[in-house]
Amino acid sequence: MMTDKVAVVTGAASGIGREIAKQFFDAGAKVAIADLNADGAAAVAAEFDPSGTRAMGLAMDVTNEAAVDAGIEAVAARFGGIDVLVSNAGIQIVAPVNEFKFSDWQKMLAIHLDGAFLTTRACLKHMYAQGRGGSIIYMGSVHSKEASVLKAPYVTAKHGLLGLARVVAKEGAAHGVRTNVICPGFVRTPLVDKQIPEQAAALGISEEAVIKTVMLKATVDGEFTTVDDVARTAVFLAAFPTNALTGQSIIVSHGWFME
- Cα–Cα dist 117/235, whole Å: 22
Question: Should residue 153 be labelled a site residue for ligand NAD when binding is judged by CB under 6 A?
Answer: no
Confirm whether 128 is a catalytic residue: no
Compute the least distance from the CB of residue 181 to ligand NAD, in Å. Answer: 10
Q: Can you say how many angstroms the Cα of residue 243 is from the centroid of all Cα atoms in its chain? A: 21
Question: How would you classify residue 235: left for phi > 0, otherwise alpha for psi between -120 and 50, otherwise beta?
Answer: alpha
Question: Should residue 192 be labelled a site residue for ligand NAD when binding is judged by CB under 6 A?
Answer: yes
Q: Which is nearer to ligand NAD, 34 or 176 (CB)?
A: 34
Q: Are 82 and 72 in contact (CB under 8 A)?
A: yes
Compute the least distance from the CB of residue 16 to ligand NAD, in Å. Answer: 4
3-state helix, strand, coil in the chain (%, to 5): 50, 15, 30
Q: Which is nearer to ligand NAD, 89 or 235 (CB)?
A: 89
Select from 7, 56, 60, 116 the one that contacts ligand NAD (CB under 6 A). Answer: 60
- Cα–Cα dist 13/10, whole Å: 8
Q: Are 142 and 253 in contact (CB under 8 A)?
A: yes
Q: Which is nearer to ligand NAD, 35 or 146 (CB)?
A: 35
Residues designated as active site: 154
Q: Rule CB under 6 A: which residues touch ligand NAD?
A: 10-11, 13-17, 35-37, 60-63, 88-91, 111, 139, 141, 184, 186-187, 189-192
